[in-house]
Amino acid sequence: MSYTSLKFLLFILGTMILYYLFPKKYRWIILTISSTIFYVLLSGKLLIFAILGTIISYISAILISKHEKKKKLILTISILLTLSFLAVLKYDNFILSMINPIINLIGISIPYKKFLLPIGISYYTLEMIAYITDVYRKKNEPEKNILKLYTFFIYFPKIVEGPISRYGDLSKTLFAENKFNYDNFRKAFVLIGFGFFKKLVIADRAGIFVDNFFSDNHTGILTIAAIILYTIQIYCDFSGCIDIVSGVSELFGVKLPDNFKRPFFSTSIQEFWRRWHITLGTWLKDYIFFPVSLSKINMKLNLKVRKFKFKHISQFIIIAFPLFFVWFINGLWHGASIKYVVYGLYYYVLMMLGVLLKPLLDKFVKVLKINTKVFSYKLFQILRTNLIVCFGMFIFRCETLSEVVTLTKAIPSTSGRIGLFKLGLTGADFAILLIGVLVLSAIELSGELKINVREKLEEQNLLFRWIVYLLIIFTIIIFGIYGKGYDAKSFIYGGF
Amino acid sequence: MKKNIINIIKLICFFSITILLTMKLGIIFTPKGWYDEYQGQIYTIKGIKEIPKNQIDILFLGNSSIQKSVSPMQIYEQTGIASYNYSVSSARIYMDYYFLQNILNYQKPKVVFVDTPTFFYDTKEVEPEQRKSFDFENLNLIKLKMINDNIFETTFEEKASYVFPIFRYHSRWNEVKIKDFNTSQKFYSVTKGFVSSSKLKANKNGYKYMQPNDKKIDMQKDVKEYFYKFIDLCKNNNIEVIFLGIPDTRAWNYESSIKMQELAKETNTIFLDLNDEKKYPINWEKDTEDGGMHMNALGAITITNYIIDYLKDNYSFPDHRNDKLYSKWNEDLKIYQKQTNKAIKEIEKSIKKINDGEV
């Protein structure tokens, strides 16, 4: 049951009717039941891992709160236990590919095995770690009702693609006595529609070209079109899904955290990652960057490098050490292969280079008397960031690193060159893509200018509003890529 | 409370408008298939609802073989018997089972002729062929029952797309023409479902497909189930069933004919096999449009004449030619005659070209 399927829409309708018919105090139980049904429909018996994870989180949190002296040990054991499911089910072959060459030296080899991956395990594992750590840090009290904790971890709107939520934040609305609010319903409806528009009209249309390009081993100048279209696809796919699930969640009065904040208006890659997959970024900051920064090793390192003559270099080393773990884990979280690790480290190297070369670049700007406050400079920074991001997405999309190298080298090649319209999209499709991207850009630009389009729309008269709603609905129905004519792609980020 | 009620009414109104527009767009986007001024599958299916209730005495059901072989207007011209050829491409007996239920809402035929070639097919009709007929059926309980029948192996999304065809045809947005927006267009069938062909391609192998042999053939399990269901439906509605073997070199053979005779005997029905060369000869040089699979206008005249003879010999249906209620049929007959003459002339031209060695 995909988030863009008719079955899902009916599932929401049914859940919503039951939710608001139930007594306010117990409404969250409907979400427990519907989330369980949703999970079982998608992953069947693999629900057991979510249940086991919930039990571990529940017990660990209570033990941590009761045993102050041993809480660090309990935290370590519980995190290792929680991570063990993910390590075995998702990273087993990756880990084995590292271990086997070593143990082969003593004549031992562990056979590779492919497990079925439970839906959302990468997301709920991070949420479980965050929950236990927050109790350890006394940011949260341990939850006494295990059913509430279970509901939080498998809450159906966020289970497939996030956003990665924090118990302390989400539980405020998830277990609140939410009342039906017509205005919220309208706003949620528009958000869901916008998500469908991004996913079905833009992402899946761009995906046709991208899939054909990569599956048929094309090369040459079309690689640039494929990279741009893939960047558009992945953004509209992922942010479209987040819009849909956030809208669905708002139908129940539950507010999910923001996961995107118009990332393609970023002037640097640091800013890009503060606006793209925000919940992963903040998770990595809170549960990787800070612990590594405050670790004994890093403290010792800090003390040593502070003695360096060049302050700039010492500052570089101080942040380079913890950030390495952040970006290594960021890459690895996306997939169990070297390619994803390189994807994470690609951003790490660029950021570190930026920090290292900053004095030089500042000098360069000063000498050439470049005005960094003007619009044209900002535009240059945005374009530069987008160029770096596009190449990052290219690494992300290629099957292997050698494919990245081969395709990049072959961009100027003219052999086997084919026309733009030979890869599944007609001129009309490109026109729709262009219009779709322009509409999306206009809405995002409004956001940058602090204009909330959703709220502005809600201020309008009924007739105008209804015309806009109908326009959204029928644009999706007519121009969306779904059904027998084309196969709607499953959400890209559902695989993580 | 009052505010809540107003909001609920607003929601109901909005979603009702959305549903209505979705259905209307479905009609606009649904491909109408091939059709000319007077004939085509869309006329066949929609046309039967345009005829006044209970005017039809005889119904023909089946696939494209019978669609192009039996002309109700020729029967009317010669006997005054009112019949309708409700045949659609790739029809199977389980489709006919539902078509007949639907037709019974409009007409009460006394005899139903069902063509037999698809009875022994081991494959189901492909989805686009199925849609060519289902999409033109009115949305009613029978249609809902049909699309929910497991025999059609439709997914949930496909079922929804039969109710809202826009979900199936939305990707045709750049093919939609101005005339598609005329959703009130009537498709009255002048030919009463018959589709005439002016093409010619001789069958060089003649009746070889009917050579006696020892092979055995049987229906697929689910086809058999609907074969009996169909007979029961007819019996329950006092309709006589006649299985009609239309000459078809692709889909018919000797063993099918033998099996069909057994089934007719078992079910106490009639099997009229027009593949019998001695009783019902076909001129394979002139009567077929595609080398023996379908009849052309000349072949249709031959086949229809055999059926007229059979009806004259075995039934005494009323002659409606002077019946005021059937005056429209007499008007239709004039158009039909013109159309048939035109088709015959074209076939004769083709024959001349062949004889002159131009082809």
Following CA atoms A298, A303, A308, A314 in sequence, which dihedral angle do they give, to the nearest 10 degrees?
A: 30
Alpha carbon distances (Å) from A16 to A24, A237, A321, A409: 13, 25, 48, 53
Q: What is the pLDDT of residue A91?
A: 81
Which residues from B are below 8 Å from A466, CB to CB?
A: 14, 17
Least confident of A481-485, B95-99, B264-268: A481-485
For residue range A27-72, what is the model confidence (pLDDT) as tens digits?
999 999 999 999 999 999 999 999 999 999 999 999 999 998 899 9
A7 shares contact with chain B (CB less than 8 Å): yes
Identity (one letter) of the amino acid at A380? Answer: F
Q: Of A10, A464, A477, which to mutate for an interface test with B (greatest number of B Cβ within 10 Å)?
A: A477
B70 close to B304: Cβ distance less than 8 angstroms = yes
* Cβ separation A485–B174 shorter than 8 A: no
On whether residue A393 sits in a domain, the answer given is: yes
Q: What is the pLDDT of residue B37?
A: 67
On whether residue A378 sits in a domain, the answer given is: yes
Which residues from B are below 8 Å from A473, CB to CB?
A: 18
Q: Does one domain contain both A203 and A307?
A: no
The Cα–Cα gap between B8 and B3 comes to: 9
Of A5, A426, A466, the CB nearest to B14: A466
Residue B214 CB-density burial (10 A; 0-12 exposed, 13-18 middle, 19+ buried): exposed
Q: How far is B172 from chain A (nearest CA, A)?
A: 8
Residue A487 has pLDDT above 50, yes or no: no
Which residues from A are below 8 Å from B17, CB to CB?
A: 466, 470
pLDDT grade, residue A81 (50/70/90)? very high
Nearest Cα to Cα of residue A175 among A197, A160, A155, A203:
A155
For residue range A145-197, what is the model confidence (pLDDT) as tens digits?
999 999 999 999 999 998 999 999 999 999 999 998 888 999 999 999 999 99
Structural domains of chain A, count: 3
When pLDDT is averaged across residues A76-102 and rounded to a whole number, the result is: 86
For residue range B317-330, what is the model confidence (pLDDT) as tens digits?
999 999 999 999 99
The Cα–Cα gap between A131 and B334 comes to: 84
Phi and psi at residue A67, in whole multiples of 5°?
Answer: -115, 85
pLDDT grade, residue A485 (50/70/90)? low
Q: Does one domain contain both A142 and A73?
A: yes
Residue ranges per domain, chain B?
Answer: 34-143+176-355
Q: How far is A83 from chain B (nearest CA, A)?
A: 38
Nearest Cα to Cα of residue B122 among B216, B245, B225, B218:
B218
Q: Does one domain contain both A145 and A119?
A: yes
What value does the mean pLDDT of chain B take?
92
For residue range B181-194, what is the model confidence (pLDDT) as tens digits?
988 888 899 999 99
A431 shares contact with chain B (CB less than 8 Å): no
| Tokens coding A120 | 């959302």
Q: What is the pLDDT of residue A315?
A: 78
Out of A174, A195, A221, pick the residue that ends a domain: A174
Q: Of A4, A182, A470, which to mutate for an interface test with B (greatest number of B Cβ within 10 Å)?
A: A182
Q: Does one domain contain both A80 and A132?
A: yes
Find the domain containing A286 and state its range: 269-407
On whether residue A261 sits in a domain, the answer given is: no
B33 close to B21: Cβ distance less than 8 angstroms = no
Q: What is the residue-wise DSSP string for A289-351?
A: IHHHHTSHHHHHHHHHHTT-S-HHHHHHHHHHHHHHHHHHHHHHHH-SSHHHHHHHHHHHHHH
Q: How far is A23 from chain B (nearest CA, A)?
A: 17
What share of chain A in percent tops pLDDT 90? Answer: 68
Residue B101 has pLDDT above 70, yes or no: yes
Nearest Cα to Cα of residue B82 among B214, B2, B193:
B193
Residue A416 has pLDDT above 70, yes or no: no
Cite the DSSP H helix spans in A252-289.
Answer: 269-275, 278-284
Q: Does one domain contain both A206 and A88?
A: no
A269 close to A388: Cβ distance less than 8 angstroms = yes
Half-sphere exposure at residue A194, Cβ-oriented, CA atoms within 13 angstroms: 20
A20 shares contact with chain B (CB less than 8 Å): no
Q: Which residue has the higher pLDDT, A58 or A89?
A: A58
Q: Does one domain contain both A80 and A187?
A: no
Q: What is the pLDDT of residue A380?
A: 94
pLDDT grade, residue A488 (50/70/90)? very low
For residue range A248-289, what is the model confidence (pLDDT) as tens digits?
999 999 999 999 999 999 999 999 999 999 999 999 999 999
A464 shares contact with chain B (CB less than 8 Å): no
When pLDDT is averaged across residues A345-354 and rounded to a whole number, the result is: 92
Residue A438 has pLDDT above 60, yes or no: yes
pLDDT grade, residue A492 (50/70/90)? low
Q: Does one domain contain both A289 and A329?
A: yes
* Cβ separation A484–B127 shorter than 8 A: yes
Task: Report ipTM for this prediction.
Answer: 0.82
Of A6, A428, A477, the CB nearest to B156: A6
pLDDT grade, residue A486 (50/70/90)? very low
Residue A297 CB-density burial (10 A; 0-12 exposed, 13-18 middle, 19+ buried): exposed
Following CA atoms A103, A105, A108, A109 in sequence, which dihedral angle do they give, to the nearest 10 degrees?
A: 70
What share of chain B in percent tops pLDDT 70? Answer: 99
> CB contacts < 8 Å between A and B, how many?
52
Sign of the Cα torsion B123, B127, B133, B134 reads positive
* Cβ separation B21–A474 shorter than 8 A: yes
The Cα–Cα gap between B346 and B352 comes to: 10
Radius of gyration of chain A (CA): 24
For residue range B35-51, what is the model confidence (pLDDT) as tens digits?
776 778 889 999 999 99
* Cβ separation B168–A484 shorter than 8 A: yes
Of A182, A470, A485, the CB nearest to B21: A470
Nearest Cα to Cα of residue A396 among A327, A344, A350:
A344
Q: Does one domain contain both A26 and A149?
A: yes
Alpha carbon distances (Å) from A190 to A195, A434, B33: 9, 21, 37
B99 close to B117: Cβ distance less than 8 angstroms = no
| Tokens coding A82 | 């929680």
What value does the mean pLDDT of chain A take?
90
Of B25, B160, B166, the CB nearest to A6: B160
pLDDT grade, residue A114 (50/70/90)? confident
DSSP three-state, residue A93: helix
Q: Sort strands B58-62 and B83-87 into parallel, antiparallel or unpaired.
A: parallel
Question: For residue A262, is it left (φ>0), alpha (ψ between -120 and 50) or beta?
Answer: left
A479 close to A201: Cβ distance less than 8 angstroms = yes
A479 shares contact with chain B (CB less than 8 Å): yes
Omega of the bond leading into A163 within 30 degrees of 0 (cis): yes
For residue range A290-340, what is the model confidence (pLDDT) as tens digits?
999 888 888 888 888 777 777 777 778 888 889 999 999 999 888 888 889
When pLDDT is averaged across residues A434-438 and rounded to a whole number, the result is: 97
Q: Sort strands B111-115 and B240-245 into parallel, antiparallel or unpaired.
A: parallel
Phi and psi at residue B84, in whole multiples of 5°?
Answer: -140, 135
| Tokens coding B191 | 């030919």
B194 close to B246: Cβ distance less than 8 angstroms = no
Closest chain A residue to B11 measured between Cα atoms? A182
- Residue B115's H or E segment, with its range, is strand B111-115
Q: Does one domain contain both A32 and A126?
A: yes
Of A428, A480, A481, the CB nearest to B174: A428
Closest chain A residue to B8 measured between Cα atoms? A182
On whether residue A153 sits in a domain, the answer given is: yes
Of A182, A466, A484, the CB nearest to B7: A182
Q: Which residues of B touch A (CB under 8 A)?
A: 3-4, 7, 10, 14, 17-18, 21-22, 25, 127, 156-158, 160-161, 166-174
Q: Does one domain contain both A419 and A439?
A: yes
Q: What is the residue-wise DSSP string for A211-236?
A: HHHHHTT--TTHHHHHHHHHHHHHHH
Q: What is the pTM of this model?
A: 0.86
When pLDDT is averaged across residues B120-130 and rounded to a whole number, the result is: 83
What homologous superfamily does CATH list for B34-143+176-355?
Answer: SGNH hydrolase (3.40.50.1110)
The Cα–Cα gap between A123 and B295 comes to: 64
Q: Does one domain contain both A246 and A291?
A: no
Q: Does one domain contain both A35 and A155?
A: yes
